[in-house]
């Protein structure tokens, strides 16, 4: 009977774990010095990261969940924004399609979330 051909190297769990950590560390080192750190890879974190990256900045998004499950929120969409200062809400309320809910809170409504947000951010400067 011929000798069994060896497929895998003789390494233990420690060596495998060390190799995984070393590879992760190499990749992480590239982003240790970032222009922007975002904690949370949800819709807001990802949109913010994309916008900052478009400006040529180095972005690191840290997310605790290791898997992505896409979901779709049915329209119509409603965005409520609460400002720190009432003057900011007053300024935003002058934009067409923006409803003022109270001193510091506004609301946007629409069927296209991306268009709704772009329209608002392009007029609120």
Q: Give the predicted TM-score (pTM) of the model.
A: 0.42
Q: Could you tell me if residue 6 is inside a domain? A: no
What is d(CA 77, CA 68) in angstroms, rounded to the nearest whole number?
Answer: 22
For residue 78, give the H/E element and its range.
Answer: strand 77-82
> Both 22 and 51 in a single domain?
yes
For residue 100, what are its two tokens? 């003022």
Host domain of residue 21 = 13-62
Tens digits of residue pLDDT in 16-62: 888 888 888 887 777 678 899 899 888 899 999 999 999 999 888 88
Q: Is 123 helix (H, G, I), strand (E, B) or coil?
A: helix
Q: What single-letter DSSP state applies at residue 11? A: -
Q: Could you tell me if residue 67 is inside a domain? A: no
Contact 5, 29 (CB under 8 A): no
- Burial of 104 by CB count in 10 Å (0-12 exposed, 13-18 middle, 19+ buried)? middle
> Both 46 and 83 in a single domain?
no
């Amino acid at each position: 009977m011929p000798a069994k051909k060896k497929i895998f190297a003789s390494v233990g769990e420690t060596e495998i774990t060390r190799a995984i950590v070393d590879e992760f560390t190499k990749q992480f080192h590239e982003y240790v010095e970032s222009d922007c750190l975002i904690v949370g890879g949800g819709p807001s974190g990802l949109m913010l990261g994309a916008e900052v990256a478009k400006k040529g900045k180095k972005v690191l998004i840290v997310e605790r969940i290791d898997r992505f499950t896409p979901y779709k929120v049915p329209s119509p969409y409603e965005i409520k924004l609460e400002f720190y200062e009432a003057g900011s809400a007053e300024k935003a309320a002058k934009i067409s399609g923006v409803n003022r809910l109270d001193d510091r809170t506004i609301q946007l409504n629409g069927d296209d979330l991306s268009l709704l947000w772009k329209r608002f951010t392009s007029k609120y400067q």
